[in-house]
Amino acid sequence: AQRLALYGHCKVLSVDYELAPANKILSIYQDGFEVYQWVREHASELSIDPDRIALGGDSAGGNLTVAITHACKQNNFPQAAFQVLLYPSVDLTMGFPSIEEFATGYFLTKKGMIWFRSHYLESPDQAQDAGLAFLEKDLSGLPPAYVITAGFDPLRDEGVAYAGRLMREGVNVEHLHMAGQLHGFFNMAGALKGAKRALDAASMALGRALADPAK
């Protein structure tokens, strides 16, 4: 968060949103949407421009970011100016080949994902809910996006697919695929050169997207 603020030349709000298992997926989504609404409504107190706000997150945080953009569209609420999606989870059915390809031995495991999902969803059947099928929704009109995916990540294929869908729907997308990285690598910039490169790239993209057009 500090590096994003420094190199993105912006203020960063790190949100302590509701978590499972005490809260389930739709409650978490609503919490995220309400936080975004609060930030816009209190923009003057925060000394920020309400029309230059970005949303972002990694993994489940990427899923929440996606959910907030769709909530804005559904509720005719102003979209964020930009979104940063770091190896986002967008397919709760776990139906892509990379789930099996990297099921074990690559930090995030299929068994772990099933365990997380069991706490996140109201029931296993909820994974099939059309309202949660972001890859099947109309993605037109969503904010410009910077998407990062990792080559050795069970979530690789769904992240790549979502970036592709956004592009086909006319959304301005920059997609950085880090072929040699694992899930969660973005938080390892102190140890991995690839992670530092990705963090710097995302920060600069954020800075470009939120730059004051008057300057």
Helices 60-74 & 25-41, crossing angle to 10 degrees? 70
DSSP per-residue string spanning 22-70:
TS-HHHHHHHHHHHHHHHHHTHHHHT--TTS-EEEEETHHHHHHHHHHH
Given the residues 31, 59, 98, 203, select the one marked as catalytic. Answer: 59
Amino acid at site 18:
E
183 a catalytic residue: yes
DSSP 7: H
Active-site residue among 31, 91, 98, 183? Answer: 183
Which residue matches tokens 């973005």? 186
As a whole number of angstroms, the longest Cα–Cα distance in the chain is: 51
Note if 153 is an active site residue: yes
**Whether 210 contacts 182, CB under 8 Å:** no
Bridge partner list, 82:
54
Element at 100 (helix H, strand E) = helix 97-101
Q: Residues 58, 91, 153, 157: which is the catalytic one? A: 153
Whether 89 is a known active-site residue: answer no
d(CA 113, CA 97): 14
Please give the positions annotated as active site.
59, 153, 183
